[in-house]
């Protein structure tokens, strides 16, 4: 893919990058567990219709956050088409279709961009996508909105790097569906205390916050270093352009190391730690959740973070740096609990390494550096030494012992589906701290 495409037609280039410039997650599971043929990100179908459905009177709808009516008709719900064809929502007896909206999938499959509009819809998907069944219950919607609120406060306070931006998730809707109102697969779904299944949807803005006055072009991080996929042949495109990260480098007047450190990696790590230190938020900063914003002259602007339903709220850090918070339940609240049998550390510390060393390090930074090294060789050891020195300033401000001395990864296994306990693999010498 040619970097210039982002300037000529930013929206089309963005969608192309989301869909066809992605070698997939390092686990390989993103290609194996995806949505149906015509709706999956790698499909050759350019878009599909999302049904706007109205449930019967036995289903209660609840709105969370700011004005859902900006995104969806009152009394209605948005549901992925695969869910209407499955045993989850039985034939039209329990709902009617009020209309449709045209959308294109992003790399996560269940988050779609509404065509001609400035927002994404993150949909519940009651089957495996990647490693997980993607429910969206009430707690998850509340958590995403709360995380957004905390990040907005931090960004407005200007205590964070100007290189930090987010895609706000400030509203969502939940349908409380009584057990009897669903299809035969319902027995396996989690019910709430009122014997209802909570079927949620989240809305995400397209325009990065803090809002910029001029145009910014968004590139998902995975697209900076991936191979281009050709949906017509169902494999890697025969002609591959130079990776976008190299094309971007060639537009600058810097050495490769200066470019990597000053334009990409320092802002990236600074953003990761600012989220923690200024908002108590632990981002799931893998290459699908992070985006790079550039301007129309190819200057790097900022790091843009998304997916706040996946972000953790670190209670001890919030207390350590004095951030007020409200929890609304336990979802993704990371706090110190007793060590689980067979685990090397308390989960609280495992999560810190997992999110930083594995998700940010191994899913994003290492593959990015490997690709750059292939095209423009540089001294990797000297670069990682600089990164470690840079990161030290933030780690020193976190509670002592925040990170374990070693780092963890896990196998490319679908734990839930294979009914295996989640096992972490421990390694010496964290690469980036
Ligand atoms: N390069 C990639 N790296 C990581 N995950 C990827 C990648 N490409 C596709 N995926 C898919 O994206 C999803 C990542 O999971 P995650 O929980 O971050 O996203 P999500 O919550 O489903 O959606 P969103 O990020 O839009 O909020 C998984 O379904 C995974 O299979
Ligand atoms: Mg994601």
- Whole-number Å distance, alpha carbon 243 to ligand 1 midpoint, is 21
Selected residue with higher pLDDT from 362 and 84: 362
* CA 308 to ligand 1: nearest atom: 27
Ligand nearest 110 Cα, by number? Answer: 1
Mean pLDDT over 138-152 rounds to 96
pLDDT at 88 over 90: no
- Please tell me which residue, 143 or 329, carries the higher pLDDT value: 143
Alpha carbons 259 and 253: distance in angstroms, whole number = 9
Which atom in ligand 1 lies closest to the alpha carbon of residue 111? Answer: 26
Q: Would you place residue 185 in the very low, low, confident or very high pLDDT band (cuts 50, 70, 90)?
A: low
**CB atoms inside a 10 Å sphere around CB 69:** 11
Q: How far apart are CA 146 and CA 221, in angstroms?
A: 25
Rounded CA separation 33/4 (Å): 32
Q: pLDDT above 70 covers what percent of the chain?
A: 97
106 CA distance to ligand 2 middle (Å): 10
| pLDDT band at residue 418 under the 50/70/90 scheme | confident
Ligand sitting nearest the alpha carbon of 310: 1
Predicted confidence band of residue 187 (pLDDT cuts 50, 70, 90): low
Q: What is the pLDDT of residue 186?
A: 62
Judge whether residue 92 has pLDDT over 60. no
Centroid of ligand 1 to alpha carbon of 410 (angstroms): 16
pLDDT at residue 7 in the model: 98
**Residue with the two structure tokens 């949807």:** 201
| pLDDT at res. 423 | 87
Task: Give the residue ranges of DSSP H helices in 41-170.
Answer: 81-84, 138-157
> Tell me: the pLDDT tens digits for 315-354?
999 999 999 888 777 899 999 999 999 999 999 999 999 9
pLDDT band at 223 (very low <50, low <70, confident <90, very high): very high
Question: What are the residues facing 381 on neighbouring strands?
Answer: none
What is the rounded average pLDDT of the residues 354-362? 98
Whose C-alpha lies nearest to ligand 1, atom 27?
A: 307
Structure pTM? 0.97
For residue 288, the CA-to-ligand 1 centroid distance in Å is 6
pLDDT of residue 91: 64
The pLDDT of residue 95 is above 90: no
Half-sphere exposure of 389 (CA within 13 A, CB side): 7
Q: Angle 380-395/266-279 helices, nearest 10 degrees?
A: 20
- Return the closest-CA partner of residue 97 out of 125, 73, 116: 73
Atom of ligand 1 nearest to the CA of 120: 26
Going from the C-alpha of 377 to that of each of 249, 250, 428, the distances in angstroms are 13, 14, 26
Region label for 432, one of left (φ > 0), alpha (ψ between -120 and 50) or beta (otherwise):
alpha
pLDDT digits (tens, 9 = 90+) for 27-85: 877 788 899 999 999 999 999 999 999 998 989 999 999 899 999 999 999 999 999 87
pLDDT-based confidence at residue 90 (cuts at 50, 70, 90): low
- pLDDT digits 0-9 by tens, 242-287: 999 999 999 999 999 999 999 999 999 999 999 999 999 999 999 9
In this structure, the residue with its CA closest to atom 23 of ligand 1 is 108
Domains of the chain: 5-155+167-205 (no CATH), 217-427 (1.10.510.40)
């Amino acid at each position: 893919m040619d970097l210039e495409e982002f300037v000529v037609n930013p929206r089309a280039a963005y969608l192309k990058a989301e869909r066809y410039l992605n070698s997939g997650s390092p686990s390989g599971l993103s290609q194996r567990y995806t949505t149906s043929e015509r709706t999956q990100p790698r499909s050759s179908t350019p878009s599909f219709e999302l049904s706007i459905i109205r449930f019967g009177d036995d289903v209660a709808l609840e709105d969370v956050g700011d004005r859902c009516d900006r995104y969806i008709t009152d009394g209605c719900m948005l549901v992925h088409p695969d869910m209407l064809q499955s045993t989850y929502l039985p034939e039209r007896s329990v709902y009617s279709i009020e209309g449709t909206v045209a959308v294109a999938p992003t790399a996560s499959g269940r988050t779609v961009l509404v065509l001609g509009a400035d927002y994404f819809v993150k949909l519940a998907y009651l089957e495996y996508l990647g490693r997980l069944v993607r429910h969206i219950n009430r707690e998850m919607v509340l958590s995403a909105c709360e995380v957004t609120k905390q990040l907005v406060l931090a960004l407005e306070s200007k205590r964070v790097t100007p290189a930090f931006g987010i895609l706000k998730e400030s509203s969502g809707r939940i349908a409380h569906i009584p057990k009897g109102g669903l299809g035969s697969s319902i027995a396996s779904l989690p019910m709430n205390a009122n014997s209802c299944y909570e079927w949620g949807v989240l809305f995400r803005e397209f325009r990065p916050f803090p809002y910029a006055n001029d145009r910014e072009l968004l590139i998902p991080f995975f697209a900076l270093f991936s191979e281009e996929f050709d949906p017509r042949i169902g494999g890697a495109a025969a002609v591959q352009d130079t990776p976008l990260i190299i094309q971007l480098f060639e537009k600058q007047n810097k050495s490769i190391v200066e470019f990597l450190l000053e334009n990409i990696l320092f802002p990236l790590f600074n953003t990761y730690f600012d989220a923690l230190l200024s908002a108590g938020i632990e981002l799931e900063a893998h290459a699908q959740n992070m985006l790079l914003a550039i301007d129309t002259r190819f200057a790097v602007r900022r790091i843009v973070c998304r997916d706040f339903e996946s972000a953790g709220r670190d209670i001890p850090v919030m207390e350590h740096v004095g951030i007020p918070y409200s929890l609304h339940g336990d979802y993704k609240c990371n706090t110190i609990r007793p060590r689980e049998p067979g685990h090397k550390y308390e989960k609280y510390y495992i999560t810190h390494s997992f999110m930083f060393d594995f998700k940010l390090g191994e899913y994003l930074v290492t593959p990015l550096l490997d690709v750059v090294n292939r095209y423009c060789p540089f001294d990797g050891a000297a670069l990682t030494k600089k990164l470690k020195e840079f990161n030290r300033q933030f780690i020193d401000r976190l509670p002592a012992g925040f990170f374990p001395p070693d780092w963890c990864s896990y196998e490319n296994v679908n734990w839930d589906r294979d009914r295996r306990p989640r096992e972490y693999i421990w390694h010496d010498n964290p690469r980036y701290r």
